[in-house]
């Protein structure tokens, strides 16, 4: 019995090593387009690393942030990407709860996108902290995380848990596919259903981070968490529709039009709720016109040297409204070019609304009534671009491995049975 267990363990180790080496071979090989894409991402990442080095050496003074506006470009991207990560649940529910086959075939790529988005979230928070080496103070045992009173600790907990759940599902499914063995549906369903409350939790806690800042009255609204969730279920699936079409064209992956149109239908419901909650917020701010309406005035009309917030607010409203019309009308969303354009509008509209469009009005005016016209510096833009490029590189790598296993390019039986460059130039 001991000899059998030892042999079985040895086989599993060999199979896992083969899985790792085969995956690496897929990432190394490829066509010209693939290598150019990876090279471009690496260049952007390297530029971001150089910019972040400057920030570490000279401090946050190299950014556009100051005492009046202490949250800027970094936290805006963090808030947006948390929504992108949470939106994987939009695919999980129809795929596993209702066993809708067209969605079930692509849910793995939604979870890969969620993993990439969570890692980018963590990186954006890290670069926003002036002394990231002190993060150990929040770790259990070695530090004092101040749990359960610190909202930041809660955010780290739900993000880490959601990441581990998605990473476990993706790794398990890919490994089983590589091994040529059937995965345990009971285990996958348990992990997937467990990820649903964490998907809601990561964006709810993010909203609580904003709502918990006592000196920023613009964020003191009970519907901020529902607004975050509604906008997340708009931006995330919208990006997925665009990304899935790129994956399909580059790799030949059989992603059906029916799945894309179903996502468009789900987007109609999410965008309707998002616009309704925005309307309720605007009515509350401008009809009552309290002393705190000054923040809404900055958001929609600017002034005091701040010109970008009206552009963001009205631009977001226009983008989201146009996208909603396409999502709502079946004859429009059934046309993939129109659906893709609407998804691009929704992704941009939610980014403007929930990123700088939410942050800057909340910070202006500050506690002393002073206005500060914040603009991100080249340091922030370079670091941010580097983080986005790193997320794109992660998604490219994980998707490429998933496609190779799905198409039978690599397996434990054949190791590398065919040239991974057959996946396409830019998959």
User: What are 165's strand-pairing partners?
Assistant: none
Q: Is residue 7 part of a domain?
A: no
Please, is 253 exposed, middle or buried when counting C-beta atoms within 10 Å of its C-beta (0-12, 13-18, 19+)? buried
Neighbouring C-beta atoms of residue 207, cutoff 10 Å: 21
Residue 322: the pLDDT is: 97
Q: pLDDT tens digits, residue range 89-121?
A: 777 766 666 566 666 667 888 889 999 999 999
The token duo for 327 is 């999502």
Q: Is residue 18 part of a domain?
A: no
The CA distance from 268 to 106, in Å, is: 20
The token duo for 60 is 């946050």
The token duo for 194 is 């467990």
Structural domain containing residue 209: 34-413
Q: Is residue 350 part of a domain?
A: yes
> pTM of this prediction?
0.90
Residue whose C-alpha is closest to residue 424's, from 36, 14, 32, 7: 32
The CA distance from 203 to 233, in Å, is: 11
Q: pLDDT tens digits, residue range 194-243?
A: 888 898 899 899 999 999 888 888 898 889 999 999 999 999 889 989 99
| SS3 assignment, position 416 | strand
**For every one of its 427 residues, what pLDDT tens digit does the chain have, with 9 covering 90 and above?**
555 455 666 777 777 788 888 888 888 888 888 999 999 999 999 999 999 999 999 999 999 998 888 888 999 999 999 999 988 777 776 666 656 666 666 788 888 999 999 999 999 999 998 888 888 777 777 878 888 788 888 888 899 999 999 899 888 888 888 888 888 888 888 888 888 889 889 989 999 999 988 888 889 888 999 999 999 999 988 998 999 898 888 877 778 888 888 889 989 999 999 999 999 999 999 998 888 889 999 999 988 888 889 999 999 999 999 999 999 999 999 999 999 999 999 999 999 998 888 988 888 887 777 888 888 999 999 999 999 999 999 999 999 998 888 877 777 666 544 444 444 444 4
DSSP secondary structure letter of residue 423: G
DSSP symbols for 377-411: -HHHHHHHHHHHHHHHHHHHHHHHHHHHHHTTSEE
Q: Is residue 396 part of a domain?
A: yes
Residue 25: the pLDDT is: 86
The CA distance from 308 to 357, in Å, is: 9
Q: Is residue 22 part of a domain?
A: no
The CA distance from 66 to 103, in Å, is: 45
Q: Is residue 16 part of a domain?
A: no
Q: Is residue 423 part of a domain?
A: no
Q: Is residue 422 part of a domain?
A: no
Residue whose C-alpha is closest to residue 277's, from 354, 343, 206: 354
Strands 415-416 and 410-411, sheet pairing: antiparallel
**Domain of residue 100, CATH code:** 1.20.1630.10
Residue whose C-alpha is closest to residue 285's, from 276, 294, 277: 294
Q: What is the dihedral of CA 18, 21, 22, 24, to 10 degrees?
A: 160
Residue 409: the pLDDT is: 78
Instruction: Provide the domain count of the chain.
Output: 1
């Amino acid at each position: 019995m001991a000899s059998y267990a030892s042999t079985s363990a040895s086989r599993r180790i060999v199979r896992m090593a083969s899985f790792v080496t085969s995956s690496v071979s897929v990432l190394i090989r490829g066509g010209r387009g693939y290598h150019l894409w990876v090279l471009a991402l690496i260049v952007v990442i390297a530029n971001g690393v150089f910019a972040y080095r400057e920030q570490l050496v000279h401090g946050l003074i190299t950014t556009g942030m100051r005492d009046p506006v202490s949250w800027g470009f970094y936290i805006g991207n963090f808030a947006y990407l948390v929504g992108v990560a949470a939106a994987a649940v939009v695919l999980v529910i129809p795929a596993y709860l209702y066993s809708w086959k067209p969605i079930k075939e692509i849910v793995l790529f939604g979870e890969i996108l969620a993993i990439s988005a969570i890692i980018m979230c963590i990186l954006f928070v890290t670069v926003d902290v002036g002394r990231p080496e002190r993060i150990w103070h929040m770790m259990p045992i070695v530090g004092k995380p101040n749990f359960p009173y610190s909202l930041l600790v809660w955010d780290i907990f739900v993000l880490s848990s959601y990441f581990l759940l998605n990473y476990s599902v993706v790794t398990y499914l890919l490994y089983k596919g590589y091994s040529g063995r059937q995965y345990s549906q009971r285990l996958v369903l348990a992990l997937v259903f467990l990820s649903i409350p964490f998907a809601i939790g990561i964006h709810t806690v993010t909203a609580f981070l904003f709502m918990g800042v006592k000196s920023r009255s613009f964020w003191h609204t009970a519907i901020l968490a529902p607004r975050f969730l509604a906008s997340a279920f708009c931006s995330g699936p919208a990006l997925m529709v665009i990304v899935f079409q790129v994956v399909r064209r580059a790799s030949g992956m059989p992603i059906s039009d029916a799945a894309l149109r179903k996502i468009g239908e789900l987007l109609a419901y999410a965008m309707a709720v998002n616009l309704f909650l925005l309307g309720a917020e605007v009515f509350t701010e401008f009809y009552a016109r309290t002393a705190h309406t000054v923040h809404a005035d900055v958001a929609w009309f600017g002034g005091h040297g701040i010109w970008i917030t009206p552009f963001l607010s009205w631009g977001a409203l226009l983008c989201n409204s146009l996208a909603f019309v396409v999502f709502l009308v079946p004859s429009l969303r059934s046309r993939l070019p129109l659906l893709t354009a609407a998804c691009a509008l929704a992704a941009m509209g939610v980014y403007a609304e929930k990123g700088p469009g939410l942050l800057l009005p909340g910070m202006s005016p500050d506690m002393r009534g002073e206005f500060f016209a914040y603009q991100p510096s080249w340091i922030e833009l370079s670091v941010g671009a580097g983080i986005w490029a790193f997320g794109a590189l992660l998604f490219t790598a994980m998707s490429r491995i998933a496609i190779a296993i799905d198409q039978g390019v690599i397996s434990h039986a054949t190791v590398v049975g065919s040239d991974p460059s057959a996946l396409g130039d830019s998959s």
